A and B are shown apart, each in its own frame.
Chain A
Amino acid sequence: LAKTTQPISMDSYEGQEVNITCSHNNIATNDYITWYQQFPSQGPRFIIQGYKTKVTNEVASLFIPADRKSSTLSLPRVSLSDTAVYYCLVASNSGYALNFGKGTSLLVTP
């Protein structure tokens, strides 16, 4: 499984756009990139998944450059309720284990 590296923590003000970058230098051809969000004492929740270029849904956008060695989760106009831990995971269709690691702790303040 590809190893991922993401910042331990980030701070933002309400209304700003937040970009969280994840490095995955040894990503394999069949690997997908998936992001989850976790609030305190709750289970992680799927945000977005992509393979290449750009994916957008009602919650976030995921930007993946051509070499796919990194990806950026973009949260537009964050609110206080976006304060959470965000996990980046890389695995293939045949991937088994998903070790979420420690993720990026995002704190949004007024």
Chain B
Amino acid sequence: DSGVTQTPKHLITATGQRVTLRCSPRSGDLSVYWYQQSLDQGLQFLIQYYNGEERAKGNILERFSAQQFPDLHSELNLSSLELGDSALYFCASSPSPYSSGGAGELFFGEGSRLTVL
């Protein structure tokens, strides 16, 4: 158990809909990262927040948005869903604003599996 909690574990919805994925980081971790994993694209970085502020942006679509709240939990909002958005969405946390180096490791949740029909 990494200490990172993601909900829901599974979600099935239709094209055009909007969903919200939630992540609670490990106790004390200030950084939250969101990743998307699909079969053909591997594990792709979407966005990072540190202590409520956006810190880095990866391959995140304009239809997707995220935020980190004062209690440090984070939500990833996916709108106007398309079939190609079906994927596993992972949240990771770390105590540092940095994702590597001496700051060490990222702790991943179990993921939210999104299926768009």
Indicate whether A45 reaches chain B with its CB closer than 8 angstroms: yes
Residues of B contacting A43 in the complex (Cβ-Cβ under 8 angstroms): 2, 4, 90, 92, 108-111
The CA-CA distance from A85 to B109 in the complex, in Å, is: 17
Indicate whether B99 reaches chain A with its CB closer than 8 angstroms: yes
Beta-carbon nearest neighbor of B88 in chain A: A41
Indicate whether A93 reaches chain B with its CB closer than 8 angstroms: yes
CB distance from B94 to the nearest CB of A (A): 10
Whether the Cβ atoms of A98 and B99 lie closer than 8 Å is yes
Whether the Cβ atoms of A32 and B99 lie closer than 8 Å is no
Whether the Cβ atoms of B100 and A89 lie closer than 8 Å is yes
Count chain B residues whose beta carbon lies closer than 8 angstroms to a beta carbon of A: 32
Measured as residues with beta carbon below 8 angstroms from the partner, the interface class of chain A is 20 to 34
Whether the Cβ atoms of B111 and A103 lie closer than 8 Å is no
The residue in A92, A97, A99 that gathers the most chain B C-beta atoms within 10 A of its C-beta is A97
CB distance from B27 to the nearest CB of A (A): 17
Beta-carbon nearest neighbor of B113 in chain A: A41
- In the complex, which residues 26-73 of chain B have their Cβ closer than 8 Å to any Cβ of chain A? 33, 35, 42-45, 48, 55-59
A 29-50 binary contact with B (CB < 8 Å = 1; else 0): 0111010101001111110010
B 77-117 binary contact with A (CB < 8 Å = 1; else 0): 00000000000101010000011111111111111010000
The 8 closest A-B pairs by CB, nearest first: A43-B108, A93-B101, A96-B56, A91-B100, A46-B105, A100-B43, A102-B42, A97-B45
Q: B interface vs A, CB < 8 Å?
A: 2, 4, 33, 35, 42-45, 48, 55-59, 88, 90, 92, 98-111, 113
